[in-house]
Amino acid sequence: MRESERSTLGGGSTGDGVGAGRYAPSPSGDLHLGNLRTALVAWLFARSSGRRFLMRIEDLDRARDAGAAASQLRDLAAIGIDWDGDPVIQTDRAVDHEAAIASLDARGLVYECTCTRRDILAAPTAPHAPPGAYPGTCRNRGDAERAAAREAIAPRRPALRLRAPEGLSELGFDDALLGPMSGAVDDLVLRRGDGTVAYNLAVVVDDAAMGVDQVVRGDDLAPSTPRQILLQRLLGLDTPEYAHVPLVLGPNGARLAKRDGAVTLAELRECGTDAGAARGMLAESLGLASRGERPSARLLIDRFDPELLPRRPWVWTPGSDGVG
């Protein structure tokens, strides 16, 4: 992406030499304590290192709640998180997403795929390939085969896939919290058959355009990082520094969810826990506050040391401070 294109977003230009961190929620409902905790860590990483902190609303998914983005931003502000510039709306970025796909296509790195998820799971895969890895069914079709396959699925349209480099099945990276990591890469989807650009492509293009050089997010997204690094390399983009934060778990050991009780700020307020107390609980879970303390977000910047962050999940127990 050209440098001139990087200065057109709400996050500002990268020309000042100051990098940026970001938080990128999907507007599918209220943020719960796990989301807020990850956002707080991302903000602390950025602010403590002198970076800008940017906000992006990732609204590509069809499962969107009207008003959810505004509610999420209010909750983030309530616990002391601020950001630079206006939030970037991901669906406003379609021109750049399509330009990235066109750039890859011009180099022969894109092909049509008519496979369904069932087709992929049923197909034989290469030895040692992870479950669900794309087996390359549509990769080497000729023009006549592509046309016949396209006709066979009409009115459904083909997806577009990346033609990953031959022989490349895995990429490694160093994570600031998890250490050395590696994961599978394959012919990932770039645009779905319904016309929606895929998350991996959008996040890579948007982070680069916003000048993001530090990505802090939940560790459930760590497995997708090698695919994003592959796209960065193919598009000639810099790879950010990554830090994947251990998730918050409910009392049953599963990922925190609404079934686990009062897990959003609104629900906590109804139980008598205000935003300041919620921030204190999050800070305690990160080793940045003592029990019952209500430190300001700015004070947490002074206390923040990435090396001292917990590397294990935080277990939230309703009716308690949740630290475990």
Write down the residue that tokens 């092909």 correspond to.
111
CB 77 within 8 A of CB 46: no
Task: Give Cα 306 to chain centroid, integer Å.
Answer: 20
151 is an annotated ligand-binding site residue: no
**What's the sign of the alpha-carbon dihedral 151, 155, 156, 160?**
positive
CB 212 within 8 A of CB 21: yes
- Cα–Cα distances in Å, from 86 out to 57, 82, 258, 282? 10, 11, 29, 26
Determine the residue type at 321.
Answer: D
Q: Give the C-alpha separation, 211 to 1, whole Å.
A: 11
Following DSSP, what letter does each residue of 77-143 receive, concatenated? HHTT---SSSPEEGGGGHHHHHHHHHHHHHTT-EEEE---HHHHHHS---TTPPTT----TTTT--H
113 is an annotated ligand-binding site residue: yes
Q: Where are the alpha helices (DSSP H) in the chain?
A: 33-48, 68-78, 94-106, 117-122, 143-153, 199-209, 225-235, 265-270, 275-285, 297-303
217 is an annotated ligand-binding site residue: yes
24 is an annotated ligand-binding site residue: yes
115 is an annotated ligand-binding site residue: yes
Q: Which residues are 173's β-sheet partners?
A: 181
42 is an annotated ligand-binding site residue: no
- Reading the block at residue 8, the tokens are 């057109």
271 is an annotated ligand-binding site residue: no
Mutual angle of helices 199-209 and 94-106, in 10-degree steps:
110
46 is an annotated ligand-binding site residue: no
Mutual angle of helices 33-48 and 68-78, in 10-degree steps:
60
Positions at the binding site for ATP = 258
Positions at the binding site for L-glutamate = 22-26, 58, 199, 217
Positions at the binding site for Zn(2+) = 113, 115, 134, 138
Positions at the binding site = 22-26, 58, 113, 115, 134, 138, 199, 217, 258
